[in-house]
């Protein structure tokens, strides 16, 4: 099969994926798209990409283009994904899938109707830490999973973020905290109860009508005896950045590090605890893109470890890229397909709905 020709849309965070597509043995970064022409040309020149577009719609009619990777602002995720699938293109999109249940379900239907590959590029289920915990689960070392907890806490109150972020409902961007739990449990979120806690500034709150500083949900999983806890905050709550998950088993338990760089903890026996150094998982990838897991390359001459562009989010970028491309090549659905992405995303959407309703139980729609 010829290489999969991909267009990357959005060249902020999106630029991180360009060198991975360029190095992947089955892919080609065929084109880039960015509204701002100066930035478009800057990135195009940096990576030697000739096909450059300022209008997303211009990509849809290019017959030789196989796939579109959407890395645009959140409000553009749903419509760009739908347009890509309806134009007969495979579609990858950064999180969240959408911000309404209706759009999540529409994308799941469009994927089915198009027969194309869809993948939500969820970094949290491809980090070194997640792959380590997954290995513990699948090897049987963890025993039976008894409970899972995820949290994504971030203080975005300082200036410099794109304007649409301020006052954004915390659970509308919850997939980083939700996805590791559901993926490890191998289960679908069925229903939940969520409560809001505290308040953010009135100026922020009125932008989306979302008053809470913190939102915490208890999620019941389908066809399972498990429930899990998800906590999310964005403003007016002081904490070091934390994008984490914990999983508790009958034989071992894994907890995310409390403070950055301390390392996660494994609990065993009754009181035993030890910090562990999580290994790199570049060996799971083609050799051409394995360095993008980001553990760095040591330059002996200059005594310096350099980290290559594209290696962020716990080494997840090349793993996600590889899964998307291989799903296309192998003509199968991706590991984070549309129905899975819809469930993970709607868990957050329904959680916010529950919090705004005073903690009422919400059933999560089932995507086809």
Is 31 within 8 Å of 53 (Cβ atoms)? yes
Domain(s) labelled CATH 3.40.50.720 in the chain stretch across 4-120
pLDDT over 50 at 302, yes or no? no
Query: For the chain, what is the mean pLDDT?
Result: 94
Rounded to whole angstroms, the Cα distance separating 226 from 221 reads 6
For residues 301 and 10, which has the higher predicted lDDT (pLDDT)? 10
49-58 long-range contacts, Cβ below 8 Å, gap at least 24? 49/18, 51/7, 53/7, 56/9, 56/80, 56/83, 57/83, 58/33
pLDDT of 295 reads: 55
Using alpha carbons only, how large is the chain's radius of gyration in Å? 20
pLDDT over 60 at 21, yes or no? yes
CA dihedral 336, 338, 340, 346 (to 10 degrees): 130
pLDDT over 80 at 304, yes or no? no
The band of 6, judged by pLDDT with boundaries at 50, 70 and 90, is very high
Max Cα distance, the chain (Å): 62
Rounded to whole angstroms, the Cα distance separating 78 from 70 reads 10
The band of 301, judged by pLDDT with boundaries at 50, 70 and 90, is very low
pLDDT of 270 reads: 84
Is 17 within 8 Å of 324 (Cβ atoms)? no
Mean predicted confidence (pLDDT) in 135-150: 98
- DSSP per-residue string spanning 267-281: EETTTEEEE-PPPP-
In this structure, whether the domain defined by 4-120 belongs to CATH 1.10.8.60 is answered with: no
The band of 311, judged by pLDDT with boundaries at 50, 70 and 90, is low
Domain(s) labelled CATH 3.30.360.10 in the chain stretch across 125-280+344-363
Q: State the fold for domain 125-280+344-363.
A: Dihydrodipicolinate Reductase; domain 2 (3.30.360)
Which among 12, 168, 9, 30 has a CA at the least distance from the CA of 91?
9
pLDDT tens digits, residue range 156-201?
A: 988 899 999 999 999 999 999 999 999 999 999 999 999 999 999 9
CA dihedral 287, 289, 293, 294 (to 10 degrees): 100
pLDDT of 313 reads: 87
Half-sphere exposure of 62 toward its Cβ, with a 13 Å CA cutoff? Answer: 21
Taking phi over 0 as left and psi of -120 to 50 as alpha, with beta for the rest, 206 belongs to alpha
Rounded to whole angstroms, the Cα distance separating 298 from 267 reads 33
Residue with tokens 């293109």: 89
């Amino acid at each position: 099969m010829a290489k999969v020709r991909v267009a990357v849309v959005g060249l902020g965070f999106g630029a991180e994926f360009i060198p991975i597509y360029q190095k992947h043995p089955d892919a080609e970064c065929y084109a880039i798209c960015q509204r701002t022409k100066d930035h478009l040309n800057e990135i195009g020149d940096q990576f030697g990409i000739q096909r450059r577009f300022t209008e997303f719609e211009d990509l849809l009619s290019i017959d030789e283009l196989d796939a579109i990777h959407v890395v645009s602002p959140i409000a553009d995720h749903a419509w760009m994904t739908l347009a890509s699938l309806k134009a007969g293109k495979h579609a990858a999109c950064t999180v969240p899938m959408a911000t309404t249940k209706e759009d999540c379900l529409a994308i799941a239907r469009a994927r089915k109707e198009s027969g194309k590959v869809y993948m939500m590029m969820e970094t949290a289920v491809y980090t070194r830490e997640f792959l380590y915990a997954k290995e513990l689960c699948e090897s049987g070392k963890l025993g039976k999973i008894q409970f899972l907890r995820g949290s994504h806490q971030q203080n975005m109150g300082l200036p410099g973020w794109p304007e649409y972020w301020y006052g954004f409902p915390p659970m509308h961007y919850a997939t980083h905290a939700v996805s590791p739990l559901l993926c490890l449990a191998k289960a679908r979120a069925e229903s939940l109860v969520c409560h809001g806690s505290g308040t953010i500034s009135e100026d922020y709150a009125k932008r989306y009508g979302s008053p809470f500083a913190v939102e915490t949900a208890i999620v019941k999983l389908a066809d399972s005896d498990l429930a899990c806890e998800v906590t999310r905050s964005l403003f007016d709550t002081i904490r070091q950045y934390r994008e984490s998950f914990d999983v508790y088993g009958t034989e071992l338990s894994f907890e995310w590090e409390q403070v950055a760089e301390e390392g996660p903890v494994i609990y065993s026996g009754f009181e035993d605890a030890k910090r562990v150094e999580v290994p790199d998982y570049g060996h799971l990838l083609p050799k051409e893109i394995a360095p993008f897991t980001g553990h760095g390359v040591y330059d002996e001459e200059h005594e310096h470890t350099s980290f290559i562009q594209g290696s962020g989010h716990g080494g997840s970028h090349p793993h996600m890229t590889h899964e998307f491309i291989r799903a296309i090549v192998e003509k199968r659905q991706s590991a984070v397909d549309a129905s899975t992405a819809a469930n993970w995303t709607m868990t957050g959407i329904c959680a916010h709905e529950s919090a705004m309703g005073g903690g009422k139980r919400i059933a999560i729609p089932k995507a086809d």
